[in-house]
Amino acid sequence: MPSKSVVVGSAVGLHARPAAIIAEAAGDLGSDVTINGVDASSSLMIMTLGAGNGDTVEVAGDDQAAVDKIAALVEQDLDA
């Protein structure tokens, strides 16, 4: 199972807006992706992680391209 450790780039961490953007992208992939073990297609589950700016999280999934796409979103400042 491919995985990648990434640093949260959003200034507000993985909260409402960034979590919604990531969840929407993960839902469109057609592949299961998790962030620290929670379903990346659920914004509520992402927010329960409490991951803040600069925290390291683990993105994992069945497909390397899907993992890379979600990891890239986690690294961006999605609240800017």
Residue ranges per structural domain of the chain: 3-75
Determine the pLDDT at residue 38.
Answer: 98
The CATH number corresponding to 3-75 among 2.40.50.140, 1.10.357.10, 3.30.1340.10, 2.40.110.10 equals 3.30.1340.10
Please tell me what DSSP assigns to residue 7: E
What contacts 58, CB < 8 A, 6 or more positions away? 3, 4, 5, 35, 36, 37
Strand arrangement of the beta sheet that strand 56-61 belongs to: 3-7, 56-61, 33-35, 38-39
Contact 58, 3 (CB under 8 A): yes
Q: At residue 80, does pLDDT exceed 80?
A: no
Determine the pLDDT at residue 67.
Answer: 98
Determine the pLDDT at residue 28.
Answer: 96
Q: At residue 21, does pLDDT exceed 80?
A: yes
Determine the pLDDT at residue 79.
Answer: 83
| C-alpha angle 44-50-56 in degrees, rounded to nearest 5 | 115
- Give 24-79 pLDDT, tens digit per residue: 999 999 899 999 999 999 999 999 999 999 999 999 999 999 999 999 999 999 98
